[in-house]
Structure 1
């Protein structure tokens, strides 16, 4: 993500670097679906992705963001005003600052865009100042923003800009329509066009309700001269789609612009007869006929080239990010779901750790009631570096694995997390190895694909990384899978990476002390079990030896398929 110096998401930009998590991680943790629920517009989904997929292990960034979010959460009136601001500055929010190319600065279209940009800049400064001025803010991010915006507002140059922009917008607002002349060849294809006049009144639908063909076929209605005589009727090219979409051919798609002049600069024409440069001809004609306005705009706006319009524009999506998440979490809290402010450890002591109490998976919000969800506790510390998680199918292993990844990404984005308490050392990346789609395994086979993907992830791991493995190496025979998995876990342990390995290989968990925890690594691999009680899933994970055969025995006895039960049933028949 591009970062500006005035930011409430990316502090200390000269000191901090970010790593982007893989697309697979975003999908494996269910965050793609979650982002769509949080966003209110499609472009906000991309915004949420861009912020949350960029991670840094610097705890100061996580703490900075978390404090900003807490301020915004404590002041719902700030969110309300920010939403009104988004409605006012649609050019900033939907399209960003217009990209200009060398030589375009004299174009009337470019000047009009710049005028609108400055107008949105003024609205943004005034709205943010009003929004934050009288609030008891505690976060470094919002207090710094408040001071910076107040300084901009009090500068004498800002008042001059506001006055000049208001005057220029009033002058430009006199333009309400353009009269365009289109020359055609014998095949009725557009070969050139030009601007006939700039008008202070808009065209309106003619009282003579005829379509284009019926207006030109009768010979007595075809004019001999092209000179304006004040008696032309106006026929909308397409009343359903609005602005001009294509000249000389059927209009295919509506294009809606905040500034109606922009529609003409994008008009498409047939390439026949050398007419490909028609839009540029239109631009030149417009600039010539509106030269007085263009000169005034250029002279006025040229005084403010040093105004940080883009820096202010980049703040709009950042404010939207916090606001949309605040709305989502507030709504879920009212429905009974609990969240807490994460605590990034600013002074790390030893290996990267984590302490989570009452954690749950956000995906459960869509399918369960809060009172039916079983929370879990989990700790990473100097000793517990790798968890080998075993248990029965549908016992919650994958749900817990996903939940831990969600905690880190949400927390490092500055957001409250689904837990009662969460203290952690931020991760430099979150990597996942979940079962691959069948179409990705055609060339190497499923085991080959798993091995290739695992190696790619492993070389990216550091002691600050969080690695989540889900049924890795389970696509081959038990003996082969066990051999590969044991080597993989030993290597992970040697690197010190915080890891959860969710697997059906109970023997791997049984042999940890004999096979895995025998090297020089400081930490250890620990057996974690999705607990069952009386043959039923508790959906709680605990540090314990794998249940393995004992669990299978309980299930067999419950359904009467032990040797004793089966032979007894035979004797009674």
Structure 2
């Protein structure tokens, strides 16, 4: 039992070691997909933020690990009382970790070390017993392998002779220590009232306390009804270094007294010093992770935004099927602004279907029509899934990816030497140097920094390369000709990752084009289809009064058109 660990995140030590140093999302990708907002949504305490972010950035692609976590999260969601009880344990585990992480106790005296070790072991037994009690209470309703393992671990641990002996002895040791909270000293004075001799009279179980009292009470040493002791002077701080010979002698005698009483406790504690404290302290982040996720998922459900437990598909399938997927980041942002918003009516869902019928989406549509949101939502759903979390949607079946690459042009900060196109090309080259058939590539308005003709030429080569790699990808673009030519690229380039034209939906409006309320309505629905031969740039121009008709109308009113 001293060497075993039961993790809620890792089904085996081998899986934990495999991903220990893995970071598979770049800083740029982290920014493009809004990973910081995912972390914020999951954090019940800010101290867990770094650990949760690391779990997301690891992008675990082991389906056994993912399924292990999903089952645990399902229990946390389905048992809110258990989640609350485990969350209530976190301060105790945090205190244990804080005490145990201190490498050097103040001072090097054996007595202080013994007292410190006793405090750590007492916290440890308290945490184990509390954890065991919570899991036993919900035993009949637990189904997740990880929680059942942890229950078995605590059952075996608390039933062991070693633990039971420790749990029985520690209170007695603490009682002995607590009986030495203060000492009474007798001091002999000479004719000039200077101290000449001192002796320890007794060791008391309670510390003396200083109380505010009247001058008369101080002089006479009177006690009030609620005071256990009154001195006849103020308390004075004791400085062990640089004191008088009398003080040095007193402290030496005090050490001897304490040693006689405490060293036997130290000897008795020796048989417990090898308990596996990290097995309990590592659970703090893990419980915090699942408790935070369960609470936020329940909150989204209350706001009528469906979150589902995805099924893990083999990596070789290279699939991602999500029914009624929504953008997690958008939902979180809306929730932060409007706590009681009905997200089910505020966020438009879309189906996702990566598979043999198409793994490379060429997404076109109007400005502000949802292309960027859709592209980001796919990446975020993949991150959530691979962290072992529910994804926004009503049903999902997903294959893990080994890498996620993003190229969102609006975030570009061109190098003065390379220019924007040079920077874009460099980043795209880096993607092709690392991407595999199991990767996910998300491009948002890439290669838009040059002429339309050059953009189209370069974009065709990029999507041809993606098709050859065989990975999943989304290319959100204004290049209608690129989407219109997917069939010819599919025929021309080998590989089983077919290109599909996807369109952000709109509803036309044939009213007076010069009226701002005649805007074409965006539906934010993304569906397969041929690219529309239009853009909503005209609508935006109309909205802000800069269409040619509106400009002419303004100039006419200013008498600048030459008309009579």
Gaps of 5+ in 1: 180-196, 210-229, 238-246, 248-263, 270-283
Instruction: Map Cα deviations across residues 289-334 of structure 1 (whole Å, 9 max, x no partner).
Output: 8545663454233212332111121112211211111112112212
Quick check: 511-520 or 162-171, which moved more? Answer: 511-520
Residues 1:549 and 2:552 are matched in the alignment:
no
* 1:426 corresponds to: 400
Q: Judge conservation of contact 2:77–2:294 (CA < 8 Å) in 1.
A: yes
* 1:447 corresponds to: 421
Inter-CA distance 294–37: structure 2 relative to 1 (3 Å threshold):
farther
Residues 1:35 and 2:1 are matched in the alignment:
no
Residues 1:125 and 2:128 are matched in the alignment:
yes
| Pairing of 1:65-214 with structure 2 (within 5 A) | 65-92=69-96, 95=98, 97-98=100-101, 100=103, 110-133=113-136, 134-174=139-179, 202=207, 207=212
Instruction: Map Cα deviations across residues 158-198 of structure 1 (whole Å, 9 max, x no partner).
Output: 0111123222333334565899xxxxxxxxxxxxxxxxx99
* 2:452 corresponds to: 478
* 2:327 corresponds to: 361
Across the two proteins, how many residue pairs are aligned to each other?
488
Residues 1:51 and 2:55 are matched in the alignment:
yes
3-state secondary structure, aligned to 2:435: coil
* 1:326 corresponds to: 294
Instruction: Map Cα deviations across residues 458-482 of structure 1 (whole Å, 9 max, x no partner).
Output: 3332222222222222233333433
- Displacement after TM superposition at 1:106 (Å): 6.9
- Displacement after TM superposition at 1:571 (Å): 13
- Aligned-residue Cα RMSD (Å) equals 4.1
Higher gyration radius (CA): 2
Q: Judge conservation of contact 1:203–1:234 (CA < 8 Å) in 2.
A: no
Inter-CA distance 178–398: structure 2 relative to 1 (3 Å threshold):
farther
* 2:376 corresponds to: 402
* 1:487 corresponds to: 461
Greater per-residue helix proportion: 2
Q: Judge conservation of contact 2:367–2:537 (CA < 8 Å) in 1.
A: no
* 2:365 corresponds to: 391
3-state secondary structure, aligned to 2:522: strand
Mapped to 2, the partners of 1:355 and 1:35 lie a distance apart of 24
Instruction: Map Cα deviations across residues 453-506 of structure 1 (whole Å, 9 max, x no partner).
Output: 333333332222222222222233333433333222222222122111222222
Instruction: Give the structure-1-normalised TM-score.
Output: 0.74
Inter-CA distance 231–60: structure 2 relative to 1 (3 Å threshold):
same
Mapped to 2, the partners of 1:437 and 1:36 lie a distance apart of 22
Inter-CA distance 419–170: structure 2 relative to 1 (3 Å threshold):
same
Gaps of 5+ in 2: 185-201, 215-230, 242-251, 335-340, 509-519
Mapped to 2, the partners of 1:502 and 1:174 lie a distance apart of 73
Instruction: Map Cα deviations across residues 56-107 of structure 1 (whole Å, 9 max, x no partner).
Output: 22211111111111112222221121122123333246x38415489x9975
Mapped to 2, the partners of 1:324 and 1:117 lie a distance apart of 27
* 2:67 corresponds to: 63
3-state secondary structure, aligned to 1:14: helix
Mapped to 1, the partners of 2:393 and 2:500 lie a distance apart of 23
Inter-CA distance 285–537: structure 2 relative to 1 (3 Å threshold):
farther
